[in-house]
Chain A
Amino acid sequence: MNAVQMLNITKKFGDLVANDNVNFDLRKGEIHALLGENGAGKTTLMRILYGLYRADSGEIWINDQPVQINSPRDAINNGVGMVTQHFTLVPPLSVAENIVLGAVKGFTLNPKEIEKSVAEASEEYGITVKPSALVRHLSVGERQRVEILKALYRRANVLIMDEPTAVLVPQEVDGLFNSLKQLVEKGLSVIFISHKLNEVMAICDRVTVLRGGRLVGTVERAGTSEKDLAVMMVGRETFGVERQGIKETGDPVLTVDHLSLTDEQGIDKLKDITLEVRHGEVLGVAGVSGNGQAELVKVLTGLQKPTNGQIILNAIDIAGASPSAITIAGMGRTPEDRHAGVVGELTVEENLALESLEIYLNRGVLDRKKIRKQAIEMIADYNIKASPEDKVRTLSGGNMQKVVMARSLSRNPSCVLAAQPTRGLDVGATEYVRGKLLEQRDRGAGVLLISEDLEEIMELADRIAVIYEGRIMGVIPAAEATEESLGLMMAGVTEHN
């Protein structure tokens, strides 16, 4: 018996295909993991099931009947509940009020009555909450329980949980897993979205993997391993591409020394990271997404101060320095999210000038002719399909990425940091961007390529470091890297020294 079937689901956002003809089915009483990297299309698929988005094409069947789901109300009526990545509770209201919100009939609310009915539900499903507590006083884990109970209170028999563990501390994760196991015994079916392999292996019965909006496959947990899943997530098609001969590399340009970062919740995001990037090489940092890459990029670009450690760039310690100081020290930065690297409301030429305003000043006044002239050159050099006066927000992802790269590479940085440089780009733009990075290496710059795309790392890197849970599992020459060895390191199984 299938609780849910999604058939040939396609969803586009403009040119971006977030779900490309995806099939998915959920059996009654199973925990089914939806696994994939950031941007793989997991949330989109589930928002379609919950009626938050409408698919461009495809069908949804629930309990082996075709259904139309146009709004969350339709989903709830079909017994589907969802706990989203960002909670939707109203902090000043009580737990009971939050749970019945939207489910109450009639005009009046009796606090005692709703608290009683919520307490009963809490008892029935074995999810402990305190009905009279105000939500704003609760911890994240407690809020999540309220969200779950809110869905169950409306008689959900399919529960979608979107990256539920991302916000939890380890003890809370254990609690959540126990609750889910109990609920499944009572007949609930659960869709568990995650990009963490160990969690998926810990509680799921089956795993469906998405990559770049496409279905990679659905496998039984019993018949797979963390390593196999890692490879499914990051792609294997062009594994083992021809390597160019080993290049002569020079002295280190960037040395990351015992770098660590602890976030506000006291969680260690980066643990004692030590890396070295030499002139004339590409050092790739591979890993399954969410293992500290985003934090590493933030620290290296000056958007976040590390808790500990040094980052030596051209003999200057840039740990904790401002973005502009880091740029001046010789780092060419490409951010993880290119939208966060540009100012959409400003024009292409203004964005191109923004990082180097000092060179465009003429007695304190911006030299607009010079800005225009340089912009025209960069637009031609980087093959950007836009005019200098276009607002950057109107550009496609590939052209936006080229603006970011043109801006940073035009300073001839001695170290180039490229974070997910081709994510979401089409084939042409991807090739172009990769070519530019190799050009930088050949010019003698050190290139630090942080990418979740293993294919990209294999194609570009001279040496490969693997990051897992904020730690470097090891650094190996690309020529020696195999699918096997990288997969094991990415899954946190082996270390390589």
Chain B
Amino acid sequence: MSKLRLEKAPAPAWVRPVIPLLAILVTFLITLIFIAWVQANPLHTYYYFLVAPFTSTVTMIELLVKATPLFLTGAAVAFAFRAGYYNIGAEGQLMAGAIIGSWVGVMLEGFSSWIALPIMIVGGFLGGVAWALIPALLRVRLKVDEVVTTLLMNSIIVFLVSYLLNGPWRDPVSMWPQSPDIAKSAMFFTLIPQSRLHFGFIIGIVVILTIWFVISRTAFGLKMRAAGSSAEGARFAGVNVERTILVTALVSGGIAGLAGVGEVAGIHFHLIQGLSSNLGYTGIIVATLGALNPFGVGIAALFIGLIDTGSLTVSRAMGVPVYLGQVVQATLLLVTLSMFVLTNYRLKREG
């Protein structure tokens, strides 16, 4: 009798880029179950999901709006993961950027945009850096697992925001717990009139290009990739692994912070509790689906933006719950991850 056995054997390089596409296919096969469950027509559902958003300018722009913060959180996560730093805290770092953005944004009243916007951007970046600092230091100094600490930092900031919005920052004229609106000059301008597509989209593109350049063209990028795949080998070759990881972790936090500023200055104009709606966690999906490659991240962010937009269309057109979009995203993450793991193995028949 012959037995099948899983054996460790890395797949050839060309397999990796194909995986996200395969994963998307498998995901839609799996989600058939949920679609059947709510008794919708699968073909129609997929049409509204994937095609309908492209049929109108409004939804196409909306897709880009949805993708804007994901460029940044996806880039933040991918950048850290490349150095072997598993930053699960983009969610919290984004909120930290948003806190700083909504704080300086109010104080910038009376300054011109030329001054206000750079301050907003730098402030948001530094907010993210600050929120990433403690887990990063714990990791490089005491070897504390960053997956746990960055995740915990996400919970802490929820309470911080809640305190600010119900206490010192609460806008007295508003019914809801929210901070006062930021100065007009600190708001991100829109790229297309009458739409919500704002300057943050350009920041996202610039950041993606920048991290691509850093990762593949600079000495720092080579060091961080070395540290990320074999700390031992990197250390032997003279890379200061701890410093490399520290810098990467902080920059990653800063990038996530930029996403927060974008949401404040481009969409909401003030701080609210639900500002992020899981953009940081979705960044993990984006980074994974993008195979940690900056351009892959860009494409993945657009794809998730499509699904987000599509799920609204689907629910409007077919009465399917909006949550279907989230089910698709979560399934996609699991499928992509399992497929990446499986590329390291192959089935062997023995007996």
Given contacts A303-B235, A322-B240, contact A346 B226 (CB under 8 A): yes
Bound Cα distance A354, B235 (Å)? 10
On whether the beta carbons of B233 and A360 are closer than 8 Å, the reply is no
Decide if A5 is an interface residue (CB 8 Å cutoff): no
On whether the beta carbons of B218 and A354 are closer than 8 Å, the reply is no
Given contacts A333-B236, A335-B236, A354-B239, contact A345 B219 (CB under 8 A): no
On whether the beta carbons of A350 and B222 are closer than 8 Å, the reply is yes
Contact pattern, A 345-388, Cβ under 8 Å of B = 1, otherwise 0: 11000110111011011001110100000000000000000000
Decide if B41 is an interface residue (CB 8 Å cutoff): no
Decide if A235 is an interface residue (CB 8 Å cutoff): no
On whether the beta carbons of A343 and B238 are closer than 8 Å, the reply is no
On whether the beta carbons of A355 and B238 are closer than 8 Å, the reply is yes
Given contacts A361-B219, A366-B219, A368-B217, contact A346 B235 (CB under 8 A): no
On whether the beta carbons of A344 and B230 are closer than 8 Å, the reply is yes
Query: Which chain B residues lie closer than 8 Å to A346 at the CB level?
Result: 222, 225-226, 229
On whether the beta carbons of B218 and A340 are closer than 8 Å, the reply is no
On whether the beta carbons of A323 and B237 are closer than 8 Å, the reply is yes
Given contacts A350-B222, A354-B222, contact A343 B217 (CB under 8 A): no
Query: Which chain B residues lie closer than 8 Å to A391 at the CB level?
Result: 13
On whether the beta carbons of A301 and B217 are closer than 8 Å, the reply is no
Decide if A494 is an interface residue (CB 8 Å cutoff): no
On whether the beta carbons of B234 and A343 are closer than 8 Å, the reply is yes
Decide if B270 is an interface residue (CB 8 Å cutoff): no
Considering only residues 139-168 of chain B, those with a C-beta below 8 Å from chain A are none
On whether the beta carbons of B240 and A355 are closer than 8 Å, the reply is no
Closest residue to A54 on the B side, CB-wise?
Answer: B350
Decide if B66 is an interface residue (CB 8 Å cutoff): no
Bound Cα distance A341, B226 (Å)? 11
Decide if A342 is an interface residue (CB 8 Å cutoff): yes
Bound Cα distance A360, B221 (Å)? 13
Closest residue to B225 on the A side, CB-wise?
Answer: A346
Query: Which chain A residues lie closer than 8 Å to B217 at the CB level?
Result: 365-366, 368
On whether the beta carbons of A366 and B222 are closer than 8 Å, the reply is yes
For the complex formed, measure the closest distance between the CB of B341 and the CB atoms of chain A, giving whole angstroms: 16
Query: Which chain B residues lie closer than 8 Å to A323 at the CB level?
Result: 235-238
Bound Cα distance A335, B234 (Å)? 12
Q: Which of A324, A335, A350, A368 sits near B238, CB closer than 8 Å?
A: A324
Decide if A401 is an interface residue (CB 8 Å cutoff): no
Decide if B232 is an interface residue (CB 8 Å cutoff): yes
Query: Which chain A residues lie closer than 8 Å to B225 at the CB level?
Result: 343, 345-346, 350
Contact pattern, A 286-303, Cβ under 8 Å of B = 1, otherwise 0: 000000000000000101
Bound Cα distance A78, B257 (Å)? 61
Query: Which chain A residues lie closer than 8 Å to B170 at the CB level?
Result: none
On whether the beta carbons of A354 and B226 are closer than 8 Å, the reply is yes
Considering only residues 83-110 of chain B, those with a C-beta below 8 Å from chain A are none
On whether the beta carbons of A341 and B218 are closer than 8 Å, the reply is no
| Most B-side CB within 10 Å, residue of A342, A350, A365 | A342
Query: Which chain B residues lie closer than 8 Å to A364 at the CB level?
Result: 218
Bound Cα distance A324, B244 (Å)? 14
Query: Which chain B residues lie closer than 8 Å to A350 at the CB level?
Result: 222, 225-226
Bound Cα distance A450, B348 (Å)? 40
On whether the beta carbons of B222 and A341 are closer than 8 Å, the reply is no
Query: Which chain B residues lie closer than 8 Å to A358 at the CB level?
Result: 219
Bound Cα distance A324, B219 (Å)? 14
Bound Cα distance A342, B229 (Å)? 10
Query: Which chain A residues lie closer than 8 Å to B235 at the CB level?
Result: 303, 323
Decide if A327 is an interface residue (CB 8 Å cutoff): yes
Decide if B223 is an interface residue (CB 8 Å cutoff): yes
On whether the beta carbons of A365 and B218 are closer than 8 Å, the reply is yes
Contact pattern, A 321-337, Cβ under 8 Å of B = 1, otherwise 0: 01110010000010100
Bound Cα distance A341, B230 (Å)? 9
Considering only residues 223-278 of chain B, those with a C-beta below 8 Å from chain A are 223, 225-226, 229-230, 232-240
On whether the beta carbons of A354 and B230 are closer than 8 Å, the reply is no
For the complex formed, measure the closest distance between the CB of B169 and the CB atoms of chain A, giving whole angstroms: 41
For the complex formed, measure the closest distance between the CB of B246 and the CB atoms of chain A, giving whole angstroms: 15
Chain A contact residues (Cβ within 8 angstroms of B): what range? Answer: 20 to 34
For the complex formed, measure the closest distance between the CB of A194 and the CB atoms of chain B, giving whole angstroms: 27
On whether the beta carbons of B233 and A344 are closer than 8 Å, the reply is yes
Query: Which chain A residues lie closer than 8 Å to B223 at the CB level?
Result: 354, 357
For the complex formed, measure the closest distance between the CB of B140 and the CB atoms of chain A, giving whole angstroms: 15
Q: Which of A327, A345, A353, A357 sits near B229, CB closer than 8 Å?
A: A345
On whether the beta carbons of A343 and B237 are closer than 8 Å, the reply is yes
For the complex formed, measure the closest distance between the CB of A391 and the CB atoms of chain B, giving whole angstroms: 8
Query: Which chain B residues lie closer than 8 Å to A303 at the CB level?
Result: 235-236
Bound Cα distance A368, B218 (Å)? 10
On whether the beta carbons of B236 and A301 are closer than 8 Å, the reply is yes
Bound Cα distance A361, B221 (Å)? 12
Bound Cα distance A40, B218 (Å)? 42
| Most A-side CB within 10 Å, residue of B13, B230, B236 | B236
On whether the beta carbons of B230 and A353 are closer than 8 Å, the reply is no
Bound Cα distance A344, B344 (Å)? 14
Bound Cα distance A340, B235 (Å)? 9
Bound Cα distance A197, B235 (Å)? 34
On whether the beta carbons of A355 and B222 are closer than 8 Å, the reply is no
Given contacts A345-B225, A346-B225, contact A340 B233 (CB under 8 A): yes
Considering only residues 36-59 of chain B, those with a C-beta below 8 Å from chain A are none
On whether the beta carbons of A340 and B236 are closer than 8 Å, the reply is yes
Contact pattern, A 153-186, Cβ under 8 Å of B = 1, otherwise 0: 0000000000000000000000000000000000
On whether the beta carbons of B230 and A342 are closer than 8 Å, the reply is yes
On whether the beta carbons of A357 and B219 are closer than 8 Å, the reply is yes
Query: Which chain A residues lie closer than 8 Å to B222 at the CB level?
Result: 346, 350, 353-354, 357, 366
Closest residue to A368 on the B side, CB-wise?
Answer: B217
Bound Cα distance A393, B9 (Å)? 12
On whether the beta carbons of B238 and A342 are closer than 8 Å, the reply is no
For the complex formed, measure the closest distance between the CB of B61 and the CB atoms of chain A, giving whole angstroms: 36
8 tightest A-B CB contacts, nearest first = A324-B238, A345-B229, A343-B233, A354-B237, A343-B230, A357-B219, A343-B226, A323-B238
Q: List 28 A-B contacts (CB under 8 A).
A: A303-B235, A323-B236, A323-B237, A324-B238, A324-B239, A333-B236, A340-B230, A341-B236, A342-B233, A343-B225, A343-B229, A343-B233, A343-B237, A344-B230, A344-B233, A350-B226, A351-B237, A354-B223, A354-B237, A354-B238, A355-B238, A357-B222, A357-B223, A364-B218, A365-B217, A366-B222, A368-B217, A391-B13
Known: A346-B229, A351-B233, A351-B237. 10 other contacts (CB 8 A): A323-B238, A324-B239, A340-B233, A343-B226, A343-B234, A346-B225, A358-B219, A365-B217, A366-B218, A366-B219
